[in-house]
Amino acid sequence: MADQPGSRSGEVLSMAAKRPIRVLLLDDREENLILRSAILRQNGYEVLTSSSIEEAQKQLPEIDIAVLDYHLGVGKFGTDVAESLRRERPQVPIIILSATLERKFGGIADMHLLKGYSSVDDLLSALRHFEAKKRGKPVVVDARDFYYSRISMAMGDDAVLEVLDRDGAWQYVNEYFAALFEKKRDWFVGRNMFETFPELGEDWQEIIRTVADTRETYIDRSFRGIANLPRKSSRYVWNVLAFPLKLHDDRNGVALSARVIERKRT
């Protein structure tokens, strides 16, 4: 029986949609290629590896996404491959991995991950984002959460972290803070801290506004802690720090952190 008109092209498109995404990994260190390729294959990706610019250039026609190490030895950079790929196949997403953040990456890479701060999960998340985009699925990238999660990672898992605008509206809270109140992190975002916890009072409102406006840092030396955070005993107190930062939308904001300390008995 003859194929119905259009059925063959539909079958080709369906097969293409099911084909694993081909990821090019460029890195001059063999151990990095082995580790990253193993992780990506475990997550369903087809991986093409290259240890040199020349080798990577030959594989550009075959790939769906490129993950390029920035520094490839003396005088050699992954951005050379990125520039070629952007000229030849502008629709292919590019992820740059580097130890430093440079503004010039913005004109070439679709995403830039910082070594030492960006985890394997960050790379997989970036790949899933681009994969979904390639397959025509709607994609929402939460740049705010990614930005603030870097700060949270640096603070550690045992510290409260709240990011607020000058009026006290939460922009981000970490898992530790949310767990104290048995809520999801998303519950807090957009709500106002002082309306949610009126016991904080005008003193804390003034502290948050002052830190945001003057760009000064506030350290609580009273051992009173923050009124809304729980205390297990008289020796169980919060060491509080509020420091200024630029929010994801370039407004002045405040990172409010607190870590439990126990005072010695006098």
Rg of the chain in Å (alpha carbons): 24
Which is nearest to 33 in space by CA: 51, 19, 46?
51
Amino acid letter for position 55: E
What does the pLDDT read at residue 135? 59
CA distance 59 to 111: 20
pLDDT for the residue numbered 109:
56
| Token pair in block for residue 258 | 């607190």
For every one of its 266 residues, what pLDDT tens digit does the chain have, with 9 covering 90 and above?
Answer: 444 444 444 444 444 456 788 999 999 889 989 998 999 999 889 999 999 999 999 999 999 888 888 888 777 888 888 888 888 888 888 888 877 655 444 445 566 676 655 567 778 877 877 776 665 554 444 556 667 777 787 787 888 999 999 999 999 999 999 999 999 998 999 999 999 999 888 989 999 999 999 989 998 876 566 778 887 666 667 888 999 988 877 789 999 999 887 655 54
Tell me what pLDDT residue 9 has.
44
3-state helix, strand, coil in the chain (%, to 5): 40, 25, 35
Query: Strands 252-262 and 159-165: what pairing?
Result: antiparallel
Which H or E run includes 120? helix 120-134
Q: How far apart are CA 99 and CA 81, in angstroms?
A: 18
Given the DSSP bridges, would you call strands 236-246 and 252-262 parallel, antiparallel or unpaired?
Answer: antiparallel
- Helix (H) or strand (E) segment spanning residue 7: helix 7-18
Q: Which helix (H) or strand (E) holds 231?
A: none
The pTM of the full predicted model, rounded to 2 decimals, is: 0.50
- C-alpha triplet 157, 161, 163: angle, nearest 5°: 145
> Are the beta carbons of 242 and 207 closer than 8 angstroms?
yes
Report d(CA 252, CA 209) in Å as an integer: 10
Number of other residues whose CB lies within 10 A of the CB of residue 247:
20
Residue in the block written with tokens 């240890």? 51
CB atoms within 10 A of CB 18: 8
